[in-house]
Amino acid sequence: MSKLTLNLREIVRFYDDLPEAGKHSNAVKTAAGEELGLALLTHYLNEQKRKPELLKEACTAKGAWLDGWIEVLSPTPMLYQVEVKSWSMHGFGSKNQQLSIDATDEYLSNRKKKMWDHYWHEGQFKQKSLQKVLLKMKIPAGKVAKVEPIACIWTAVHPDGLSEHFFSVPTNNSDFHRVHIFSMSSYLRNLMVKGINNLEIDLPDTKARIDYLNSLFKTPCRIVTKI
């Protein structure tokens, strides 16, 4: 069994609203970040009846690579080349970047617009490590579907401050005329608004790492003295 149950509130708090977790954030994201992003995106696409499958083939081009391919079969076959960025509040260098789990709708909307400007300018990403999602990758053998890019990022963003967690924007790129954005923070916040507080998803690599940690480090036994 490779599924794990996510505590949505605690995950959002860790990434968005827990400055004291800063010294542990890179370790957690190394253990689970990329796989978590792909799993949440796959879960969302499945909700939309897109029939997604995370492919095993590497998502690469000459001098560049992305985190994975997701193939969808409905309503028409499509290949998504996906780059995951699990950048949390801890990477911005200021506790003022905290985004409360209980932020008001108005504050959240304004924050999304502000953070969108941090990522995007005049049809392209400001960060080179995200801009590479707009480079056309080598299509896996035997696949002939249309290809589109997805930037799967943790941060709650939207150019107009709206609540949607999956949206598209036009690019100035020659390979792709648009890019899709999937915000993990927005997605989990929207699920919690619906009353969903736990989510079971397939995370085989993360589970294996947790199992190794559990086998290596044991909680000290309590000594019970009989009276």
CA distances from 195 to 48, 101, 189, 192 (A): 19, 14, 10, 5
pLDDT of residue 91: 75
Q: Residue 16 contacts by C-beta under 8 Å, 6 or more apart in sequence? A: 88, 89, 98, 99, 100, 101, 156, 185
Whether residue 11 contacts residue 96, with contact meaning beta carbons closer than 8 Å, is answered with no
- Asked if 55 and 81 touch (Cβ cutoff 8 Å), the reply is no
Upstream peptide bond of 140 is cis (omega within 30 degrees of 0): no
Cα 130 to Cα 123: distance, rounded to the nearest angstrom: 13
Of 23, 179, 165, residue with least CA distance to 88 = 23
pLDDT by position in tens, the chain (length 227): 689 999 999 999 999 999 898 899 899 988 998 999 999 999 999 999 999 999 999 999 988 999 999 999 999 999 999 999 999 888 764 445 899 999 999 999 999 999 999 999 999 999 999 999 999 999 999 998 899 999 999 999 999 999 999 999 999 998 999 999 999 999 999 999 999 999 999 999 999 999 999 999 987 656 555 54
Compute the half-sphere exposure of residue 108: CA atoms within 13 Å on the CB side of its CA.
Answer: 18
Predicted local distance difference test score (pLDDT) of residue 66: 98
The pLDDT value recorded for residue 227 is: 46
pTM here is 0.93
